[in-house]
Structures are given as C-alpha cells and as structure tokens.
A and B are shown apart, each in its own frame.
Chain A
Amino acid sequence: MRVLSLHVNGDRVELAAPDHWTLLEVLRYRLGLTGSKQGCDKGDCGACTVLVEGQPVLGCLTLAASCGEKPITTIEGLMPAHLAAGGTGPDPVQAAFDRCGALQCGFCQPGMILSARALLNRNAQPTRPEIRAALSGNLCRCTGYTQIVQAIELAIAESLGVEPCAPAWAPGTNPWKLAAPAEPGA
C-alpha cells in the first residue's frame, strides 16, 4: 500500500492503493470515476482508454503507482475542461456522438471519445483514414464504427464552420445541419 498523489481531471487527489493496482482500478474503485470501462482488462479492447499527458493509453495495463504527477484525463473530465476553456455544454466530440447516434450500448464510448479528442488536439483536420487509424485501438461490438467516424467528422466540420461531408452509407446526403439552434417554428 502506498499513498499516491495523482493529477486527475485537473484536481490533485491523494489516495492509498496497493502497488499491484492498475490506474483503471484506482479510477473506478478509489475515485468512483466509473466512466472508464473495464472491458477485457488485458489490453485488447480500448474501453479503459484514458489520456495521460494528453495521449491515449490503456488504464488496465498502467500501474497506478507509476503515474506520478502526470496529468490524467478521463471521460468525466472532458466537459469541465471544455467549459473551463470557455466553451458551452459538453465537449464537441461528445455532443457529436450524441447527435449522430454513434453508440448503442455505449461501453466503448468513453474510450472512443478520448481517442478522438486526443487526435483532434494534435490534428484539427484529420482525414477519414487518419480518424480510423487513431481509433484502431478501440473496439466497438455494436455500432459497426460508421457513425463513430461520422460523429468525429461532424465535430471537425462544426469546429471549422463548414457543412459535414456526406456519411459513408448515404453519399450525396447531409443528415446533419450545422449546430444551429432549433429552427423557428420547428
């Protein structure tokens, strides 16, 4: 058992945990941050993805005692970070997942969103192959991925103020208007 001083979602937290606990276990069972999911628990699925120093890593294979002071972001920290940066509402990637219906059971979603957020932070205009590559360590057993990629493309389009490109499954259409307020009388 040792006392860890972690830097989670902008807060300093002190907690006691044994050396053999993973970061995922500490987040979920010491800090109550159950947004990070415990899927395979052995590196296969990406459900436990969190950002350490802004980059996606797997919480289930990271020893909590090795994290030191490095800043850690979980899904719970995204919206507060967005608000603190002057935004309104949830992180635009979260909002786009919501609008595109980019989930079914939702188990993969925190990891997917964090991988996507890290991608957009290092490259504001990734191509579709770059999006797919950045998400290739996150498995989804429900959606078939199409809406997930679409959601990220929607978030990109909105950040640039342009119309999103047509979804892969319906070329030539545009189901999502820009995030304008509800139309009058609608």
Chain B
Amino acid sequence: MLRLPQFELAQPRTLDEACALLVEHGEEAQLVAGGTDLVPNMKHELFTPKVVISLAKVAELRGVRQEADGALVLGALTTLEALAQDERVRARAPALAQAAGLVAGPQLRRMGTLGGNVMLDTRCQWYNQTYFWRQALGFCLKKDGSACHVVAGGAKCVAAASNDTAPALLSLDAELVFHGPAGARRIAIDALYSADGIYNKTVRGEILVEVRVPATPAGHRGAYGKLRERGSIDFPLLGIAARLDLSADGTVASAALCAVALQARPLRLKKAAEVLLGTRPGTADFEAALQEAGALAQKQCHPLDNIPGDADYRREMVPVYVRRTLLAAAEGSGPVHHV
C-alpha cells in the first residue's frame, strides 16, 4: 500500500486561474493533468507539494483542431487514447499516433495526457522507488542525495527521458505553446529538452497549453518503433521515431530520426537520417542507406544501465529498430513493436 503525502487539491477552471495559483504557490505547487506520472512519483515521495493544481477542468487545454494550412493543434489535455485514435493525427502525423498508442496500457492511455507526456519526469531505476528503498541506498543525485549509482563518481544525473511522444514530436518539428505569468509564448520542441536528468526541460512554472504539429507534405511518411519487454504497460527501453518525406518521384526529400530512453534528453539522430536523402524506398540504394543509418545511429546511441533492459542489448537493438522503423515508415505501416 502506497499512501500519497498530504496536499490540497486546487481545480481551476480557466488558464488564468491556474496561472495565478502557480504564481501564488510557486515551488510548493505541482501541476497535474492525468496524474499517471505525478501520482506514482508523489507516492514515492519524489514530489511532496503542498498544493496540487489539477488542469483537468481547464477548458482552454482541450480539443484537437486542424488549421487551414493543415497544421494540427493538439490541446495539452488530449488523452493518449484520443490522440492514437484521431483520424487527422493518424493521417498527418502517423508516428505520433503510433507512439501515443504504445504508451503504457489502455487504462493509462485513457487517463494520461499529451501535455503530461511531453512534460514527463525522467526515469531511473535508482529514482523511481519508494522513500524507504531510496533511503536504504543513501538516496541519489536526482533526489535527496549526492551520489550517482549509475555512473560511478558521476556529477551529472543521467536519468532517462522515457516519453514515447517526444521523439515523434521532434521528428514532426512540433511547437509548444506555454502560458506563464508573462503571457503566452511558443517554442520549438527541440528547445524544450536539455541533457540534465534532474529536470530535463528548459521551461518551469508555465503551463503547456497546446502542441502544434506543422502541416506535413503529401509525401509524408512516419512510423514509431518501441522496444520493451512486454507488449503493454512498460515504458520504452528504446523508442525510435522515423520520418521520411517523399517527393513526387518517390525519393526521400527530407528525413528525420529521433530516439528516446537512451539518455536524459530525447535525441535527434541527424547523421543517420541524412544518409537516406535522395534514395528511393524499394531500391538497393535505400536498402544500403538503411544499413548505414542503423550503423550511424548505433554510433551515436549509448544507453546506460539505469532503466530495465541490459544496456548492451538495448544498444544492439538500436540499428535493428532504426532499420525496421524506417522501413515501416517507407511502407506506410507501423508501429514496430516486436514482443
């Protein structure tokens, strides 16, 4: 039995009210949307806020719409289930729909939101544990302690970004609209994440209102590949989002490969994606580029032994998942999920 530490729940109905509460309570407040990340973390006493501000009733954070230019605007409260099933998202941003559909299990996808997934706390075997467990080890760098149990003598927390939608949103060049005391601002998703496992985001004390996915061209192909031990419930041991935009003659005009669950920030695998440019799926050139992309991705990826799954195994799986996910994207299929 895991009890929550005491807090007061505030349930504002507007964005302004929610922002005012955040300003009023500052460091003593935590935002909650679906609660599927924050509630277990509070049960583990990783967060002990005095006030929990629920965003669930804030109408401005709801809804999915498509703009005239084809861009998708996804409210932060959109559940992962709704995202995975939305026809517009599936057609325009298949990697995102597939990634959302592979998060956790059905109940958690119904409760968990896109905003909470983008803002998910990083994870580590030495961190996502009860207070009793962590205390027995003298705590760790990320919470309450000063030593890293993953990298001996490490001074920098390496807890892993584990949100499945992050690589998909990176591959789609998504933009995030935050609302804070100074009003609204829009940032590129690349600018959100940093390499600090303690808090891997550059934004604090602001509310994510919506995620904007720019229009994708007619030849857009995308897929998501997720390595995990079981077919459900588990966080990713490795997540790969692949994007291929094909020109009218079928050659790759632009490409992106992004990965998660390797280090504190979701990664762009730029060199690996570049080798696909100018190749045409179905040709020997494309096959050769897949191999090369896999090899280059593996060079760039160095998983650590801080989430389930042996690090060497996860590294061996990088080229496999890069190739399979790219192939699925090219074929318009996916997700890649072999369990």
Contact = CB atoms under 8 A, between A and B. Distances in A.
B7 A136 contact: no
Categorize the interface residue count of chain A. Answer: 20 to 34
Given A56-B110, A58-B107, A18 B6 contact: yes
Max chain A C-beta neighbours (<10 A), residue from B5, B105, B111: B105
B36 to A, nearest CB: 6
Interface residues of B, number: 30
Given A60-B2, A66-B9, 7 more contacts: A19-B7, A22-B4, A42-B43, A55-B110, A63-B9, A133-B106, A136-B232
B4 A20 contact: yes
Contacts of A176: none
B35 A63 contact: yes
Interface stretch (A7-15, A43-51, A78-86, A98-106): A43-51
Nearest to A20: B4
Contacts of B8: 19
Interface string B13-57: 000000000000000000010011001100110000000101010
B107 A137 contact: yes
A136 B39 contact: no
A44 B232 CA distance: 10
A133 B7 CA distance: 35
A61 B36 contact: yes
A43 B4 contact: no
Contact of B108 (A18, A19, A21, A43): A43
Contacts of A63: 9, 32, 35, 39, 52, 54
Contacts of B35: 61-63
Given A57-B111, A61-B36, A62-B111, A136 B106 contact: yes
A56 B107 contact: yes
A61 B43 CA distance: 10
Interface of B: 1-9, 11, 32, 35-36, 39-40, 43-44, 52, 54, 56, 104-108, 110-111, 231-233
B111 A134 contact: no
Given A61-B39, A63-B39, A136-B233, A46 B6 contact: no
B106 A137 contact: yes
Contacts of A138: 105
Interface of B is mostly: loop
A65 interface: yes
Contacts of B233: 44, 136-137, 139
29 contacts: A18-B6, A20-B3, A20-B7, A21-B4, A41-B1, A41-B2, A42-B39, A43-B104, A43-B108, A46-B105, A46-B107, A49-B107, A56-B107, A58-B107, A58-B108, A58-B111, A60-B2, A60-B39, A61-B108, A63-B9, A63-B32, A63-B35, A66-B9, A133-B106, A136-B106, A136-B232, A137-B107, A137-B108, A137-B233
A74 interface: no
A115 B109 CA distance: 14
A94 interface: no
Contacts of A44: 233
Contacts of A61: 35-36, 39-40, 108, 111
Nearest to A45: B233
A38 interface: yes
Nearest to A41: B2
Nearest to A136: B232
